[in-house]
Structure 1
Amino acid sequence: MAAEYNYGPAYSAGYNGKGQTIVIFDSYGSPTIRADLKHFDSAYHLPAPAAFNIYHPEGNVVLNYNNLPSPANFHSKQLATEVGWAYETTLDVEYAHAMAPGATIDLVTVPVSETEGVQGLQNLEKAQAWALANLHANIWSNSWATTEQSFDSSTVIKQLNRLYARAAAKGVSVFFAAGDSGVANTNKQGVTYPYPTVNFPASSPNVIAVGGTQIGSTLTANSSHLAEKVWNDGYGAGGGGYSTVFPETSYQTSANIPDPTGMRGLPDVSYNAAVISSVLIYESFDPVYGPGWTPIGGTSAATPQWAAVDAVAQSALGSQGYLAPKLYKIYQSSSLYPEAFYNVTSGNNSFDGITGYSATTGWSAAAGLGTPNISGLITALGSLQ
């Protein structure tokens, strides 16, 4: 990933996220995350984070799989959900740290699962409101979502979005995964909607939605950027499309993005997320498979790494505030845009029989502005100051 997105010059100059804090929000968390991060760091020759703090503002987490007999064999949906969130937490923490090794990591957990807007989302928002008031960090990473149509009404979504409007006004860049099933998202019963849909909070005009790409396979470690296309490898596809709730943002209007609906388009940016070009995490919590290395993909992998991109940029330039308007301002510059982004121009996010959107030159509802060239992005952001 460091070679793919040109982190090298920033790292060489000492810009590795030092002085910045990335706040990660997850349900449940992982009981072994501190030890697993140490193991991960040792294997990849990474330093420990400047600090690693864990907070439970919604109450302590009780994990039902902690005391299972070994070897465990369980079929409980609740147990599987908790273990799934532990994988998510491990991915978020290890890769936010991997790409911004000098940054502080704050992990904020809640004791319930986020489930299609029925439960959990409100707990996560309360935890975020607590973080906004108490942690004083301006980079957040979130890998959870609910299809817009699964809420009772658009009014509910707009009420929930007030938090993100406050966060953006305070200069917080809130990164949200755009989703892992292209335009084919489900209702509360798990049935796919028969038309293209997007997820909230990624669809909020006050957050940065992160889509997915895939990198061509290679048998050796890459030493420079490899060509990408929209993630769509049969295992999943990068989320994207147009909100049915929020109008197009002013910075998207100014950038003249292709928008036939007049509504908020997403994703804003993308990053490697494919299963066929997955990253490795280390875990020791799984009661069935035991300790080991696991390949994992999804926009859940892309999002904490984009949070790390922001941390690296801010360690070089100082606080950037809410980053989205600046990214679209860069897009409007014929000289800055190709310096700061790798434009993704091939592939689409059609999935599960639902026709989606194709990548094109410039912004698209399949890949957003594209993927970051870290060194060039820092230069471009610096030119806006």
Structure 2
Amino acid sequence: MLRKLGLASSSVALASLAALALPGAPAVVSSTPSAVPMVVVGPVIKSASTSPPSASSCKTAYGIACYGPAQMAAEYNYGPAYGAGYNGTGQTIVIFDSYGSPTIRADLQHFDTAYGLPAPPAFNIYHPEGNVVLNYNNLPSPANFNSKQLATEVGWAYETTLDVEYAHAMAPGATIDLVTVPVSETQGVQGLQNLEKAQAWALANLHANIWSNSWATTEQSFNSSAVIKQLNQLYAQAAAKGVSIFFAAGDSGVANTNKQGATYPYPTVNYPASSPNVIAVGGTQIGAVGSEPTTIASHVTEQVWNDGYGAGGGGYSTVFPETSYQVKASIPDRTGMRGLPDVSYNAAVISAVLIYESFDPVYGAGWVPIGGTSAATPQWAAVDAVAQSALGSQGYLAPKLYKIYRTPSLYSKAFYNVTSGNNSFDGITGYSATTGWSAAAGLGTPNVSGLITALGSLH
């Protein structure tokens, strides 16, 4: 069962802001469809020490496992790359969010200390669309936390914290650039344009080729496909300049909403994840519900995320035709349209990752289990940073990933093929995982060290 910071039909398909119905979970705030980021948030866990709770203690207390950077490194075989000195050094990951978090610098420092991570070489925060004003900073008491605007700002703070902490955790040698805007993205009506303006500014000024984004809108919620194509010109320009832009595919499987919050009665996908010029990141879960491990010594078999709290986004665009590199890879696509996701990563609530936050005006500071393709996306950006620290600039990564897929010996080294599960959700029938690419899990999840080897062998 979920409680929402905002309604389930929130008009931001930002890989889903919901609160688990567990003690200490963020409070329910009623609203009409509005800009509430869709990150799946668990309870704020107080601790007498600075150490995060263990996966086993989370499972005992809440019925879900909760993992940290070491477990993700084991699950996706970062170890040999780290051992060779490849940890993102010399790379920059640019993260785009609305509002940001007022405590992100201190929270990242606490997170790093608890997990024994070094500080990033640099952590820069930019506001190209104007300074952010956070209303919840001025609450006379938590009892005043009763508006959808405050819930929106707090939701984006959770999103920002997740993005920054896990992009850094998995590529600790990379610089982190956080770019914020002072409004929220709302179903393509407002905010999305501000985020794109901020991205255009980043493309012109930051000269970094790895971007992470965890926000989206159902394709059908735009006024026309022409609007989407116009917006997509920025991503085409960025890809042509060698920028890999990672976008969360969404947390409701194939069931996405319109501007009024009603679910479309047929399978849908989200934009910008559906753009042919970005890398769409879907979701998996580690273990089945009730059998997720509390320790991970090496890769544990995954399935498509669909644990009752959410499901990984995927399907086929109604706007963009299949990309040339997908055509060459002969992905299963009867529609002739762009298929997504391209790749996947752990995103489930039952196998959540832990963040540390101190901004929450109601529950205060603590460790928080958090899930969603918002958790998967910054970690895939980190995978790119680790690979580029080993191999040098890889440019726009998507065509190379599909080229690897076309060579079975490379594919088996670079990816863990996800072959079970589906992304049907909320009564809408979705797609099933299968051997090779699927519209539920894409190419699969990364074997990071094997992916570096495979990329290095391409000509």
TM-score of the superposed pair, with normalisation by structure 1: 0.99
Which residue does 2:449 correspond to in 1?
375
C-alpha contact (below 8 Å) 1:217/1:276 kept by paired residues: no
The C-alpha deviation readout for 1:130-185, integer Å capped at 9, x for no partner, is 00000000000000000000000000000000000000000000000000000000
* Gap runs ≥5 in structure 2: 1-71
C-alpha contact (below 8 Å) 1:73/1:288 kept by paired residues: no
Give the CA deviation at 1:69: 2.3
* In 2: Cα distance, 1:164 partner to 1:321 partner: 13
Give the CA deviation at 1:218: 4.2
* In 2: Cα distance, 1:182 partner to 1:130 partner: 32
Which residue does 2:334 correspond to in 1?
260
SS in 1 for 2:265: coil
C-alpha contact (below 8 Å) 1:36/1:283 kept by paired residues: yes
C-alpha contact (below 8 Å) 1:211/1:268 kept by paired residues: yes
* In 1: Cα distance, 2:293 partner to 2:199 partner: 41
C-alpha contact (below 8 Å) 1:231/1:274 kept by paired residues: yes
Give the CA deviation at 1:55: 0.1
* In 1: Cα distance, 2:160 partner to 2:266 partner: 31
* 1:349 pairs with one of 387, 399, 423: 423
* In 2: Cα distance, 1:73 partner to 1:8 partner: 47
SS in 1 for 2:180: strand
Give the CA deviation at 1:333: 0.2
After TM superposition, where is structure 1 displaced by more than 6 Å over at least 4 residues in a row?
none
* In 1: Cα distance, 2:303 partner to 2:294 partner: 19
* In 1: Cα distance, 2:262 partner to 2:347 partner: 24
SS in 1 for 2:166: helix
C-alpha contact (below 8 Å) 1:217/1:277 kept by paired residues: no
Give the CA deviation at 1:217: 4.0
RMSD (Å) for aligned C-alpha atoms: 0.8
The C-alpha deviation readout for 1:31-61, integer Å capped at 9, x for no partner, is 0000000000001000000100000000000
Give the CA deviation at 1:75: 1.5
Q: Specify whether residues 125 and 5 from structure 1 end up closer, same or farther in structure 2 by C-alpha distance, changes over 3 A only.
A: same
Give the CA deviation at 1:376: 0.4
In percent, how many aligned pairs have the same letter?
Answer: 90
The C-alpha deviation readout for 1:166-222, integer Å capped at 9, x for no partner, is 000000000000000000000011110000000000000000000000008445321
How do 1:174-253 residues align onto structure 2 when only pairs under 5 Å count?
174-215=245-286, 217-253=291-327
Q: Specify whether residues 202 and 44 from structure 1 end up closer, same or farther in structure 2 by C-alpha distance, changes over 3 A only.
A: same
Q: Specify whether residues 304 and 226 from structure 1 end up closer, same or farther in structure 2 by C-alpha distance, changes over 3 A only.
A: same
SS in 1 for 2:409: coil
Give the CA deviation at 1:71: 3.8
* In 2: Cα distance, 1:234 partner to 1:354 partner: 14
C-alpha contact (below 8 Å) 1:72/1:287 kept by paired residues: no
* In 1: Cα distance, 2:292 partner to 2:159 partner: 26
C-alpha contact (below 8 Å) 2:91/2:175 kept by paired residues: yes
The C-alpha deviation readout for 1:247-273, integer Å capped at 9, x for no partner, is 000000000000010000000000000
SS in 2 for 1:131: helix
C-alpha contact (below 8 Å) 1:236/1:274 kept by paired residues: yes
Give the CA deviation at 1:74: 1.5
* Gap runs ≥5 in structure 1: none
Give the CA deviation at 1:67: 1.4
Give the CA deviation at 1:8: 0.2
Q: Does 1:133 align with 2:204?
A: yes
* In 2: Cα distance, 1:190 partner to 1:311 partner: 37
* In 1: Cα distance, 2:237 partner to 2:410 partner: 29
The C-alpha deviation readout for 1:58-101, integer Å capped at 9, x for no partner, is 00000000011244442100000000000000000000000000
Q: Bigger shift: 94-103 or 217-226?
A: 217-226
C-alpha contact (below 8 Å) 1:209/1:267 kept by paired residues: yes
TM-score of the superposed pair, with normalisation by structure 2: 0.83
SS in 2 for 1:140: strand
* In 2: Cα distance, 1:374 partner to 1:346 partner: 21
